[in-house]
Amino acid sequence: MRQIIECVPNFSDGRRPEVYNAIADSIRAVRGTRILDLSADPDHNRTVITFVGDIATVEEAAVKMIATAAQLINLDEHEGEHPRIGATDVVPFIPVKGATSADCVALAQRVGQRVGDELGVTVYLYGAAASRPEREKLADIRKGQYEKWREEIGQNPNRDPDFGPAEPKSWGATVIGVRPFLIAYNLYLNSDNVDVAKKIAAAVRFTSGGLRFVQAMGFLVEGQAQVSMNLTDFEKTPIHRVQEMVTREAARYGLTVTKAELVGLTPQKALLEAAKYYLQLDDLEDGQVLEIKLLEPEEKPDFTPYDLLAATAGATPTPGGGSSAAAAGALAAALTEMVANLTVGRKKYADFEVEGQRILARAAAIRQELAACVMADAAAFDQLMAAWRNKELDEAAKATAVEAATAHAGELPLRVARLSLEAAQLAQAMTANGNSNAITDAAAGAVLAQAAVQIAGMNVRINGLNLQDKELAVRWANEVDGLVTAVNQIAAATIQTAAQRAGF
């Protein structure tokens, strides 16, 4: 099953397109992520981005976007309606498909650790990832906003972070956690009286006696009073119930709701439930909605890599052995990742949970990198051929271009070999400790990784023969010897372990 994690980070800038677009670009730069929505609000001075990916890609994108926001947003100069504590204010992870809340908690902890260690950003964990009960609610962590945090960090022990430095920085702190789907839902009133909006918000929100799973505040937005709400569990407190309560409370003051607004994305089910309520379609089934019916898969998808096979079989030198090595290494990592997915979160393997989560994340990252190397290897060879055939260069310039292209053509398969060896090591660990029903799949990963290292090693050696830099060629050859020896030992040991655990 394809793994999908949703991430809905909030950034403290909604007025400068060059800033929030740069942050979005840092997310897009991570292959495998997909931005579903970007909503910038100049009044709140806040941008909400919704993107999805698997655990490894979401982790990498989260670190990159926090780094970008820290460089571009100065909280000392920030003003806006919405409460905030950091440049990247909050980073919630939501399991959508093929992942659990526990997976996202581990993800939040890894991202928090990396952001604290690598970026020097103060991090607090909230929601299901909270390190202590008083930090489960975002509002409690953000109390007093950036200004109060800046005064107290490093002075008040209650402000000590989960990760990162306990000292004030202009990018503030970032709150990272795990939560269910949250619907950001705003209702506008036919008035500019923000005090009334605040009274209605107080009546609706749970903390002051209102509806469970509703957070609400009153704002003045473009001259119109707004009741701004977060619905933290739409299945238990649906949109239509919130709408009706706000409408009744507004009527007390002689006001009406003029329009509603969704910020970011909402689950389809939430809108269907509202439609059932207002249209009294109590027996409406999802399959009666045309678009939902059309999206239902008719059969199991065909994942045969026809394009790669056809391209490899063609009458061109690329893709060739180097691309095939990268593909084999990517498959090795994918098999390891599969076995890890079948292992983590299961009581039988609880003692291996932490290591299993680490292997899962690393195998996913290696798979992504090696998959990118399939095309990159072909491009490196084409670049080398172009250097050889370039008739516009004099002999000296051509020699320099060929040497540089040869070095690149050798370094790339060397990287493939290194990553594939690491994939073999991860496969060995999963064979020894992973789900007993998938032992041979993990062992197959080690054997594929062995092939990848050996094939890539041959490509490194052949490019080394053409190098003018003989010292570099010798270093390549020595490293390849070590990689091949190591992967052969790992593959042999892994096959033996698989045989012992499986009993054949």
The helix or strand, by DSSP H or E, that contains position 217, with its residue range, turns out to be strand 214-221
Asked whether residue 421 is assigned to any structural domain, the reply reads yes
Q: Identify the domain boundary among 252, 274, 296.
A: 274
Q: How confident is the model at residue 391 (pLDDT cuts 50, 70, 90)?
A: confident
Q: How confident is the model at residue 299 (pLDDT cuts 50, 70, 90)?
A: low
The pLDDT score that the predictor gives to residue 297 is 65
**Residue 295 half-sphere exposure, CB side, CA atoms within 13 Å?**
8
Q: pLDDT, tens digit, for every residue of 442-500? A: 999 999 999 999 999 999 999 999 999 999 999 999 999 999 999 999 999 999 999 99
Give yes or no: residues 139 and 188 share one domain. no
Q: What are the DSSP calls for 71-134, one per residue?
A: HH--GGG---SS--SBSEEEEEEEEEES--HHHHHHHHHHHHHHIIIII--EEEEEETT-SSGG
Q: pLDDT, tens digit, for every residue of 314-372? A: 999 999 999 999 999 999 999 999 999 999 989 999 999 999 989 998 998 899 889 98
Give yes or no: residues 215 and 361 share one domain. no
Contact between 229 and 185 under an 8 Å Cβ cutoff? The reply is: yes
Q: pLDDT, tens digit, for every residue of 20-60? A: 999 999 999 888 899 998 989 898 899 999 999 988 899 99
Q: pLDDT, tens digit, for every residue of 162-212? A: 999 999 999 999 999 998 888 989 999 999 999 999 999 999 999 999 999
- Total tally of structural domains belonging to the chain: 3
Q: pLDDT, tens digit, for every residue of 438-450? A: 999 999 999 999 9
Set 44, 82, 240, 408: catalytic member? 82
Give yes or no: residues 241 and 358 share one domain. no
Asked whether residue 300 is assigned to any structural domain, the reply reads no
Residue 81 has pLDDT above 50, yes or no: yes
Asked whether residue 378 is assigned to any structural domain, the reply reads yes
The pLDDT score that the predictor gives to residue 1 is 46
Could you confirm whether 78 is annotated as catalytic? Answer: no
Q: How confident is the model at residue 298 (pLDDT cuts 50, 70, 90)?
A: low
Q: How confident is the model at residue 278 (pLDDT cuts 50, 70, 90)?
A: very high
Question: Whole-prediction pTM value?
Answer: 0.59
C-alpha span between 362 and 424 (Å, rounded): 12
Q: Identify the domain boundary among 157, 178, 199.
A: 178
Could you tell me the CATH number of the domain that includes residue 158? 3.30.990.10
Give yes or no: residues 171 and 201 share one domain. no
Give yes or no: residues 54 and 201 share one domain. no
